[in-house]
Amino acid sequence: MQAVRESYADIGLMRERGLSWAEISDVLAKLGVTARDNQPISPVTLRSAFFLVGNEGRDGGVDGEDPGGTTPRETLDAVHRAALAAGQPADDEDAAPAPEPAEPDMVEGATDGPRESAVPEPELPSAPEPDPVPEPAPAATEPGGPAVEPVPVPETPSIQAPAPQAENFRAPAPHVSTPQDSTTNRPWKGDRMLGTIFVLNDRGGVGKTLLSHHLMATAMLEGLQLKVVEYEVNERLNRLFGPEVVEHRRITQDFMNMMGSGDGFYEFWDQIGPELQRGGRLFDFGGNISQWFFNWAEVSGFDYYVGEGERLTFMVPVTVDLASLSTGMNTLERIATIAPKAKRVLVENGFSGPFSQLDDSQYARRKAEMVEREGVEVISMAPCTAPAWARLTGHRIDEVAQMTREDLVKLGMTPPVASRSLIIIHEWLRTMRQALSPYLRDAFNQSAGPAAKTGARQGAL
């Protein structure tokens, strides 16, 4: 992190001149800037650290005045020279095509990209050690030098003309970011990350899997893409949708015994960090799992990955069961400690009874206070009362939404029962889809499609 802070401007210059994060990582590794284990800094870590340092600068932090610098000055000078030479091959080919026939070997070296040109640069100033920076000045008198000396020529345009070529270097920037936007799920919009949705409550049997199922079905019906990670003892969503859609991370008894102690516990959760940076994911936490997630987040620098949680949405389902209400409210309060700006949604699952019976309870008063003062949102998840619903256990909701009366008759229902069931099921799914769609579109920076802007979305189910 300190090395990135000290070389922040040079890394930014390399990005402007077209180097990918992987190429910058290779250049830094060859110059001696590595991770703690002397391995190259991973592109994801390098990018995260770069953006974090940039945010420090925007928040008023001082990037260049850290007295505790650990990177040797000669290494920083080498990184600076590598940054200056990074965009040079394109300049030589576009602006000065005349020297190409004179130095054909130089063209071959340039085609290897900035990585090759960055390695020999630190050795050039080592001969005149006292003043490495003025070295390019004699290169301007290249006609008087021997045939081997034109090696410093690449530095001449990059050092003498950074100001007039600044406009030229800004132009390729959109072309550099375009490939990043075209990756799977289009996770990045410039330097902003897509959102992440969590479904959690340590109490079992409150409808977490059903809520995640609704979210997945709504995303599929509206053409949104998301990756789902299921933390459960048994495969549920993974069994319904398949491993290509849902990644199941099994929670075993041995893992439960390990929870809260040792590095193995933290390493299990550390993999969430980069996933939060990319966004576009739905995390489904089974019972008694979210408490361990909070324990990890509180001591592992959760804000390093998500800031104050502006792009996170936490959905907490509860039933009228007192234990469910208690753990649900505690979960909402704990979310505020690790992600104060995250969106918190209380989902009232009416499976065990109507919430109207709690209008005068302590839960109702606490809920009203959280809604008014803390911005907590509340949505309802009513149970499906269709006669055929019990026969549809094990079916995907997005498939149920497209079933016909004949499909239900094949499952053993009479045509009249199948007809009444379809009306109830479609209305139930339409209500849930309308409640969940705004959160999905907001999390993934997606605007409503044409169907949502017209009446077509109402009849899509």
Q: Are 260 and 295 in contact (CB under 8 A)?
A: yes
Q: Is 167 exposed, middle or buried (0-12, 13-18, 19+ CB in 10 A)?
A: exposed
pLDDT of the residue at 153? 45
Residue 303 is which amino acid? D
Q: Which residues share a beta bridge with 378? A: 346
Q: Inform me whether the pLDDT recorded for 383 exceeds 70.
A: yes
**Phi–psi pair at 411, nearest 5 degrees:** -85, 5
Render pLDDT for 2-35 as a digit per residue (tens, 0 to 9): 777 788 788 877 877 778 777 888 888 888 888 7
Of 59, 328, 313, 340, nearest in space to 203 by CA: 328
CA-to-CA distance for 297 and 5, rounded, in angstroms? 24
Residue 349 confidence (pLDDT) above 70: yes
Contact between 378 and 370 under an 8 Å Cβ cutoff? The reply is: no
CA–CA dist 206, 9 (Å, integer): 50
Tens-place pLDDT, residues 328-344: 999 999 999 999 999 99
SS3 at position 20: coil
- pLDDT at 45 (0 to 100): 73
Percent of the chain past pLDDT 90, that is, above it, reads: 30
Is the pLDDT at 150 greater than 50? The verdict is: no
Start-to-end CA distance of the chain, whole Å, equals 50
Considering only 283-292, 340-349, 358-367, 403-412, which range has the smallest mean pLDDT? 283-292
What is the spatial distance between Cα 56 and Cα 51, in angstroms, rounded to a whole number?
9
Query: Does the pLDDT at position 216 exceed 70?
Result: yes
- Confidence class of residue 461 from pLDDT cuts 50, 70 and 90? very low
- What is the rounded CA–CA span in Å between residue 447 and residue 256? 41
CA 133 vs. chain centroid, Å, equals 40
Instruction: Judge contact between 313 and 442, C-beta under 8 A.
Output: yes
- Phi and psi dihedrals of 346, rounded to 5? -90, 120
Highest mean pLDDT among 77-86, 173-182, 210-219, 252-261: 210-219
- pLDDT tens string 58-78: 444 444 444 445 678 778 888
What mean pLDDT is reported for the chain?
Answer: 73
Q: Which of 254-263, 299-308, 353-362 has the lowest mean pLDDT?
A: 254-263
Q: Counting Cβ atoms within 10 Å, is residue 258 exposed (0-12), middle (13-18) or buried (19+)? A: middle
Alpha carbon distance 331, 338 (integer Å): 11
Structure tokens at 60: 């008023």
| pLDDT of 458 above 60 | no
**Span of 42-46, 92-96, 256-260 with lowest mean pLDDT:** 92-96
In sequence order, what DSSP letters do the residues of 142-190 get, joined into one string? GGGS-SSTTTTTTHHHHHH-TTTTHHHHHTTHHHHHHHHHTSTT--EET
Q: Which pLDDT belongs to residue 20?
A: 79
Is the per-residue pLDDT at 433 higher than 70?
A: yes
- Looking up tokens 């990585």 gives 115
179 or 203: which leads in pLDDT:
203
Q: Of 69-78, 235-244, 442-451, which gets the smallest average pLDDT?
A: 442-451
Question: 245 and 228 in contact (C-beta within 8 Å)?
Answer: yes
DSSP 446: P
Out of 82-96, 248-262, 307-321, the most confident range is: 307-321
110 band by pLDDT with thresholds 50, 70 and 90: very low
Which pLDDT band holds residue 215 (cuts at 50, 70, 90)?
very high
244, containing H or E segment: none
